[in-house]
Amino acid sequence: MPFKRRGRFYYSPSGRKFTKKQVAMYYATKGFKKGLIRGKKKRKKKGNPGSKGIGTVAEREMPFLGLEREATRKARRLRRERT
Protein backbone atom coordinates (compact mmCIF):
# COMPACT_ATOMS: atom_id res chain seq x y z
CA MET A 1 0.00 0.00 0.00
CA PRO A 2 1.60 3.27 -0.99
CA PHE A 3 1.46 5.70 1.89
CA LYS A 4 1.58 9.43 1.30
CA ARG A 5 3.04 11.66 3.96
CA ARG A 6 1.20 14.84 4.82
CA GLY A 7 2.68 16.67 7.75
CA ARG A 8 3.29 14.40 10.71
CA PHE A 9 1.12 11.47 9.58
CA TYR A 10 1.00 9.03 6.68
CA TYR A 11 -2.22 8.48 4.76
CA SER A 12 -3.31 5.39 2.84
CA PRO A 13 -5.13 5.62 -0.50
CA SER A 14 -8.40 5.08 1.35
CA GLY A 15 -7.70 8.13 3.51
CA ARG A 16 -6.92 6.39 6.80
CA LYS A 17 -4.30 8.06 8.99
CA PHE A 18 -1.23 6.10 10.17
CA THR A 19 1.79 6.92 12.32
CA LYS A 20 5.41 6.43 11.33
CA LYS A 21 5.64 3.31 13.53
CA GLN A 22 2.54 1.79 11.93
CA VAL A 23 3.91 2.36 8.43
CA ALA A 24 7.26 0.81 9.43
CA MET A 25 5.41 -2.20 10.89
CA TYR A 26 3.39 -2.53 7.67
CA TYR A 27 6.50 -2.79 5.53
CA ALA A 28 8.36 -4.99 8.06
CA THR A 29 5.56 -7.58 8.15
CA LYS A 30 4.76 -7.50 4.43
CA GLY A 31 1.42 -5.82 5.02
CA PHE A 32 -0.97 -5.72 7.92
CA LYS A 33 -2.06 -9.12 9.07
CA LYS A 34 -5.30 -9.56 10.93
CA GLY A 35 -4.64 -9.19 14.64
CA LEU A 36 -1.55 -6.98 14.45
CA ILE A 37 -3.54 -3.77 14.65
CA ARG A 38 -5.52 -3.71 17.82
CA GLY A 39 -8.48 -1.52 18.52
CA LYS A 40 -9.29 0.01 21.84
CA LYS A 41 -10.12 -2.51 24.52
CA LYS A 42 -13.47 -2.24 26.19
CA ARG A 43 -13.18 -1.35 29.84
CA LYS A 44 -14.95 -3.47 32.37
CA LYS A 45 -17.66 -1.62 34.18
CA LYS A 46 -17.05 -1.26 37.85
CA GLY A 47 -19.93 -1.47 40.20
CA ASN A 48 -21.72 -3.31 42.87
CA PRO A 49 -23.33 -6.52 41.61
CA GLY A 50 -26.27 -5.71 43.88
CA SER A 51 -26.96 -2.53 41.96
CA LYS A 52 -28.33 -4.55 39.05
CA GLY A 53 -31.14 -6.11 41.07
CA ILE A 54 -30.63 -9.49 42.64
CA GLY A 55 -27.20 -9.23 44.17
CA THR A 56 -26.65 -11.70 46.98
CA VAL A 57 -25.93 -15.38 46.56
CA ALA A 58 -29.00 -16.31 48.60
CA GLU A 59 -31.25 -14.24 46.34
CA ARG A 60 -29.76 -15.80 43.22
CA GLU A 61 -30.33 -19.29 44.55
CA MET A 62 -33.79 -18.51 45.94
CA PRO A 63 -35.42 -15.78 43.86
CA PHE A 64 -38.51 -15.63 46.10
CA LEU A 65 -36.34 -13.97 48.78
CA GLY A 66 -35.95 -11.00 46.47
CA LEU A 67 -39.74 -10.74 46.17
CA GLU A 68 -40.09 -10.79 49.97
CA ARG A 69 -37.52 -8.05 50.25
CA GLU A 70 -39.36 -5.96 47.68
CA ALA A 71 -42.68 -6.47 49.51
CA THR A 72 -41.03 -5.42 52.77
CA ARG A 73 -39.72 -2.24 51.17
CA LYS A 74 -43.18 -1.40 49.83
CA ALA A 75 -44.75 -1.98 53.25
CA ARG A 76 -42.18 0.29 54.93
CA ARG A 77 -42.75 3.00 52.34
CA LEU A 78 -46.53 2.83 52.85
CA ARG A 79 -46.09 3.08 56.63
CA ARG A 80 -43.92 6.18 56.20
CA GLU A 81 -46.50 7.79 53.92
CA ARG A 82 -49.32 7.23 56.45
CA THR A 83 -47.50 9.05 59.22
**pTM for the full model?**
0.38
Residue 77, CA atoms < 13 Å, CB-side half-sphere = 6
The rounded distance, in Å, linking the Cα atoms of 15 and 37 is 17
Q: What are the residue boundaries of the structural domains of the chain, listed by start?
A: 1-33, 50-82
Q: Which helix (H) or strand (E) covers residue 36, if one does?
A: none
Question: What average pLDDT does the chain have?
Answer: 75
The rounded distance, in Å, linking the Cα atoms of 55 and 70 is 13
CA dihedral angle for residue 24, residue 5, residue 18, residue 2, rounded to 10 degrees: -70
Most confident of 28-42, 47-61, 63-77: 63-77
